[in-house]
Amino acid sequence: MDWNLIKTFLAVAETGTLLAAAEALRLSQPTVGRHIDELEAATGLTLFIRGRRGMALTEAGLSLLDDARSMAKEADHFLLRASGRASEASGPVRITASDIVANYLLPPILVALKDAEPGIDIELAPSNAVANLLARDADIAIRMTRPIQNDLIAVKVNDLAMGTYAHERYLAKTGVPETVQDLAGHRLVGYDRDMLILNGMKALGIEGDRSLFTFRTDDQVAYWELVKAGAGVGFGARWLARQTPELRRVLPDLNIPPLPMWLASHQELRTSLKIRRVMDFLREAISAMPLAD
C-alpha cells in the first residue's frame, strides 16, 4: 500500500479537516480527498464521516489510528537513520533556538560557521517552543532547559547570567531603584501570558500578577527592544545588555539564577558528518562566549 495514503489518513485524523491536512502536508485539498477515497477503496472501509464541521473518524478509522501513528514513527526513525549515515559535510542543517538567542547571539556564529563549512546550508528556526527533534522539526536545538525527550544527546555549553536593567533616560526621570520594594514605584516590562518572569519574581519574594507590568509582551525580541527604548525596568541577559551602553544595571544584588544553555540533537544523527561538524562548531563558539558574567 502507498505510504502516502496512510500519511494523509493520519494528517486528516489529527487535523480534522481536508484543508488543514492539505496545508500540513503541502498538498492540494483535492489531492488529500483523493488519497482518502483511495485508502477507503483499498481497505474496503469507511474511515471518516464527512460533515459540515469536518472529518470525523468512524469506528473503523479509530481502530487503525494507532497503527498509522506507529508507522509514522517508524518512518521518522528511518529518515533519521538515513540522515545519520551521510558521509559528506554538505546540505542543510536546521537549528532551532529561542528568539533572543536566534536574533542576537547566533547570527555572527552562523556566518563564521558558513565560512568554515561552505558546503553546509543553515536553516534557522527561532522558536520558544521545545522543538520535537524526533519528528525532525529541527536537527539541532539550543535550549535554556535540558531536553528530556528520549533518544536525544545534550551537552551543556554555557550559563547565561541575568540582570535587571533600565535605560539611563528612564532612570533620569524616575530615579534608580535601590531595593526590590522600590520596584513598586517603577514601570516594569514583563511577559503577557508567559509566566516565566512572574514565577521568577515570586521566587525572589515579589508577589503579583501580570498587572504588575506596565508593558506586556510574550515576544522576547519586542520585550528587549522595549527595555532598550526606555519603557521601564526589565530583565535580560547581562551579555546582551552590555551591547547597549545606555542601559544601566539596577539592583545588582538581586540574585537572579543564570539560565543554562544546552545544545541537543538526536542520537541517530551523531554519525552524520554535517551534524557533527555543526554541533562541534556551536559548542566551541558558545562555550567561548563571556555569557556567565
pLDDT band at 283 (very low <50, low <70, confident <90, very high): very high
pLDDT digits (tens, 9 = 90+) for 127-145: 877 656 656 678 899 998 8
Is residue 85 scored above 70 in pLDDT? no
High-pLDDT (> 70) share of the chain, %? 91
Q: What is the pLDDT of residues 92-138, one digit of tens each?
A: 999 999 999 999 999 999 999 999 999 999 999 998 776 566 566 78
Select from 229, 261, 263 the least CA-distant residue to 247: 229
Q: Where are the alpha helices (DSSP H) in the chain?
A: 3-15, 18-25, 29-43, 59-84, 99-100, 106-116, 168-174, 196-203, 220-228, 238-241, 273-287
Average pLDDT, the chain: 89
Q: Using the predicted structure, report yes or no on whether residue 7 has a pLDDT greater than 60.
A: yes
pLDDT at 134: 55
Mean pLDDT, range 150-177, rounded to an integer: 93
Summary count for the chain: helices (H), strands (E): 11, 12
Q: Which pLDDT tens digit goes with each residue over 233-274?
A: 999 999 999 999 999 999 998 888 899 999 998 876 666 888
Q: Per-residue pLDDT for 87 more than 80?
A: no
pLDDT at 81: 63
pLDDT of residue 245: 95
CA distance 224 to 271: 38
Instruction: Give the pLDDT of residue 176.
Output: 95
**Phi/psi at 279 (nearest 5 deg)?**
-60, -45
pLDDT digits (tens, 9 = 90+) for 190-244: 999 999 899 988 887 788 889 999 999 999 999 999 999 999 999 999 999 999 9
Q: Give me the pLDDT at residue 226, please.
A: 97
> What integer pLDDT is reported at residue 153 of this predicted model?
86
End-to-end distance of the chain based on CA atoms, in angstroms?
58
* Average of per-residue pLDDT across 146-150: 76
Structural domains in the chain, CATH included, are 3-84 (1.10.10.10), 91-157+259-287 (3.40.190.10), 162-250 (3.40.190.10)
Report the distance separating Cα 243 and Cα 95, nearest Å.
24
Q: Is 8 exposed, middle or buried (0-12, 13-18, 19+ CB in 10 A)?
A: buried
